[in-house]
Chains A and B, each alone.
Chain A
């Protein structure tokens, strides 16, 4: 399909594209500000709101006692009070909300709410949680064979541990919602949410009413990245509660600090691993314990952890595997979905294992990686994942070799070796890493979608589907699908705001599946309408239904050569539509889709959870300063498989943007808390996402052209692209490892913290500089 820019591009650049907090009515509007806990863990003994309630502009102070329904916003477990009632579980948690005529008045009054706390000892790190056995839910396990015995028998063995940091979403538009009640008591919620249906359900739950009294809609988001999958719900719910209690429209938009303090982030992880391998570096056994920092409530931690567990393997086959996962219960904001959904954390650990094996055997890391690839050669045994699904349509090896060639990997590595030999305090490193990422929600029931398409008698079309637009270009792709099926220009089609009264029971726009699922539903709805128009057109054209063709805004009979240009053949789309109306044919249709062939047993950790896999690979080259630990990213080459792209400009944007977001997670974005559990990095002055300066000038992105037809039937043979490119950034971490290793007098394994800040790199360099040649030999002896 043709290159398309974002459907709202003009509105973006001229400032007229409206976002949630720009759409509310100006009259009678109220604003909210929270009263936040100054403790990470404490009992609430008393809340006194009377002084605050008397402050100018204050309309109401809401506490847990004001909630008519259930005081809970948990998406899986009901363990997440909207307003803390008996105890607080993280620093900054809301214990009350002030409703006032404007934000400044609400904020001033929030400072006057008196709360009497009995502080309790908080649990603030994964290590703390392990020591106290503080977990959400029992352990999860994915296993094949007997990893313990295979480890005993393996010729070589390494073990290690990895701690890796989380990541704030830092969507430019913070969490926001506004709510009004209409005269009949319908709750109209406008929310910057990736999951309008869940927002609807949670609002209904909190208010104690049926879902049919709540409509949730979302026009567009100023970024989501998973951060508005569940985290949008509390804001919508508190605005709904305030509107319900005051009878007036209420808006909320969290300040950047509130957003960073109160909402969940990418899970930090801690992992222990043990790998057994042979002299060629081939994996024989792998045992991994994963600990995800879940924060105070469960939220989406179980599926995040599970995705991490089924992505530790990344692109590598291992015959005997045991992966155990646990969710640490800490007194921090509850961690949540973030682009990759645990996959990046799992894959970072898998790549760490590859790097360790290469270091132990003194083999090039790229060689160890490609030797271990899943492969569908022969009996297909080496193409089986530990959870029992084959790696369908596996063309990673082909992609990998193409990228190595195109990036001149081998020649550049030789040049780097020469550079490093000539420089004592400046070292370069180059690395290539693969991505294999499973596409579909692990939770099978989420893999369904709906659409609703109306054609009006003038031939114009309204397109509704269950997905939300957060910048990823979903609406643009849906326009492409509808315009292709109905043969009309996309200018004739209007994508409507996502709304739960148009398409109900939707899934979150997440898991890289937005266009796969909604695209098929849109296609189905449009095909239904087309089938209804065909007999009408056949009669008008005097041809058989089989001969009716759609395209260029017209409908004509196949073989009609009366007019040379297709654009003038047959009838206008609108003429046929009007005729269909006149003959009482319905011009509105729903479409529905469920992904075929999925199964997943979370208890056994087995099944066929993914419809297909996305593949990609990346080469990164870095230069590290030995004086400071500061690095520069010199060049990046990405090759990624998007199938037959629905919109190449948009897919390319996802690849580049995902990579840079991953780069931030792995290098400059660092979350730090103080000893009391207060987030210290709660603003862009202290939490640093990449700027233009971090992006290399030499940045090559290529879409992979596969040589074999796919065995799956994804919408127009495209592939999901939202999340997988983020993990291409692991190449930067591995290139840094190579550069750090070059500071050592003798080959040795490199331990590098994540994120690889200048301090972390400096520390890693200090460590390798201390390694004596003899010590490495001894370490190898121990390992064998």
Chain B
């Protein structure tokens, strides 16, 4: 067992007494001359610094999860177990199967990205997830990926070795909270709220996939951080008949598997949300807290008419998602409140009278792991006569906040989605927002996408074919 001021690195306890909690694990590894873990960007975008974090998740399973060590503040580590590439092959012993597969398939050229791929494949190997998603968060500039994909496919065909790593997964991780100066990791919501009252200038930190970028570059936003990633209440997922309540700090990877099939728009958007290493840490609460106008999940929450549950010293209050965003990165959340959960109403089962169509879209320069030019999510209820009962058309990337095209929704209500309606709707959508031109795209293209993504939605979902 480790004490609160230690973490396990490659099976060895590390004393954290002198650690700066805001230093990234990557920087620390480098200073300790554990040089197998590479820095390609220090932004969480290249995967070269991927390490495996051993954790027992809220579903009770113990897993190795691949995470970017550049985005992992040391403050989040007390009591946790981390493996770097150095742990995979003991001196004199054969290579680990994932390492051998990469050698056999000529999966390395310059080799600088390779330890990151090794660790992503390592996590995927024991989780039985060796498809594209396991390694799409790792950039390689040399190989063109084909041999790495082949190595992953070959691994997927092998039985998983019954080795010491597999053995370790049979025991839960009992992570204890740490006590590093300026970085608090409360275990209950009540403690978190009390800490915030004690340190009013403290900043909430969830998966650290956004704040972690700042910390990685040595920019500290506050003297005190309150981490939300060890609070069991924030990790709960309740599947009720009429709605789903999602703990705000549940990693998105968990949503991907545990909500699969319930909300088509969510299923479509989650794989486009960053890459595996980021989804292993990122949370709905983090996305809502950051409130970026281009946060990919926010249009989905708008289209699905989510409710945000806030918790603070004055208790819990609920805010409809439509009322949550107030201005550029400004929300209805008070500074001393935290986001506890999000409720999504479940779509009514299709009946003879109505059916609900919903889908999400994302257009970016690169289709995998990129920031949206425009993200959109649509939910439309249509009655038996083909008339629109209700429509929610939500967009990201077109205004200072993620928002709905309310005027167009009003126009659509009561109409059938025929050619004439669509022509007017598209004209209205083109004019609904005044997006910016930036390095991602021009305003004209963004306006066009507002209209054509809805046209694509109607063409695809209503007629069942994208043409």
Query: Which residues of B line the A interface, CB within 8 A?
Result: 33, 35-38, 40-43, 45-46, 48, 84-86, 88-89, 95, 99-100, 102-104, 106-115, 118, 132, 135-149, 217-218, 275, 361, 363-371, 373, 438-442, 445, 448-449, 452-453, 455-456, 459, 466-467
Contacts and interface: CB of A to CB of B under 8 A. Distances in A.
Given A8-B111, A14-B85, A471-B142, A172 B106 contact: no
Contacts of B144: 653, 656-661, 690, 695
Interface stretch (A145-153, A383-391, A733-741, A758-766): A758-766
Max chain A Cβ within 10 angstroms of own Cβ: one of B41, B136, B459: B41
Given A627-B459, A629-B363, 18 more contacts: A8-B111, A9-B103, A13-B100, A170-B139, A171-B112, A172-B40, A172-B139, A221-B110, A422-B467, A471-B109, A473-B109, A652-B106, A668-B365, A691-B366, A692-B132, A692-B135, A694-B368, A695-B145
B149 A695 contact: yes
B42 A172 contact: no
Contacts, number: 243
21 contacts: A6-B111, A10-B99, A12-B115, A13-B108, A14-B86, A15-B37, A172-B38, A255-B217, A256-B40, A471-B108, A473-B109, A627-B456, A656-B144, A683-B43, A685-B45, A686-B371, A686-B439, A686-B440, A691-B139, A694-B368, A766-B448
A225 B37 CA distance: 22
Nearest to B114: A12
Given A425-B466, A649-B106, A223 B366 contact: no
B147 to A, nearest CB: 7
Contact of B136 (A10, A19, A668, A693): A693
Contacts of B42: 255-256
Contacts of B95: 10, 13-14
B48 A172 contact: yes
A26 B37 CA distance: 18
Contact of B38 (A222, A255, A658, A681): A222
A386 B370 CA distance: 44
Contacts of A652: 106
Nearest to B445: A759
Contacts of A426: 466-467
A640 interface: no
A102 to B, nearest CB: 9
Contact of A26 (B33, B132, B218): B33
A630 B43 CA distance: 26
Contacts of A274: none
Nearest to A223: B110
B41 to A, nearest CB: 4
A227 to B, nearest CB: 10
Contacts of A657: 109, 141-144
Contacts of B106: 5-6, 9, 649-650, 652-653
A693 B110 contact: no
Interface in A648-670: 649-650, 652-653, 656-661, 668, 670
A424 B467 CA distance: 5
Contact of B365 (A15, A470, A688): A688
Nearest to B101: A13
Contacts of B41: 256, 683-684
A467 to B, nearest CB: 15
Nearest to A9: B103
A456 interface: no
A173 interface: yes
Interface in A1-34: 5-6, 8-19, 22, 26
Contact of A15 (B35, B104, B275, B373): B35
B136 A691 contact: yes
B36 A15 contact: yes
Closest 3 CB pairs of A and B: A15-B36, A471-B110, A222-B112
Contacts of B439: 670, 672, 680-681, 686
A369 interface: no
A449 interface: no
A608 B88 CA distance: 53
Nearest to B37: A15
A10 B85 CA distance: 12
Contacts of B114: 12-13
Contacts of A470: 110
Given A171-B110, A426-B467, A628-B453, A688 B366 contact: yes
Contact of B452 (A11, A17, A104, A628): A628
A689 B448 contact: no
B103 A5 contact: yes
Given A15-B86, A668-B366, A689 B141 contact: yes
B224 to A, nearest CB: 20
Given A26-B33, A627-B452, A628-B452, A14 B99 contact: yes
Nearest to A672: B439
B218 A14 contact: no
A653 B146 CA distance: 9
B113 A172 contact: yes
A109 interface: no
Interface string A420-444: 0011111000000000000000000
Given A657-B142, A692-B145, A693-B132, A630 B367 contact: yes
A556 to B, nearest CB: 34
A757 interface: yes
Contact of B142 (A223, A680, A681, A701): A223
Given A653-B147, A684-B45, A762 B445 contact: yes
A759 B369 CA distance: 17
A733 to B, nearest CB: 16
B166 to A, nearest CB: 20
Interface in A707-724: none
A691 B47 CA distance: 11
Nearest to A18: B35
Nearest to A648: B106
A221 B113 CA distance: 12
A218 to B, nearest CB: 13
A503 interface: no
Nearest to B135: A692
Contacts of B148: 692
Contacts of A472: 109
Contacts of B452: 627-628
A629 B95 CA distance: 45
A128 to B, nearest CB: 19
Interface string A751-776: 00000011100110010000000000
A628 to B, nearest CB: 5
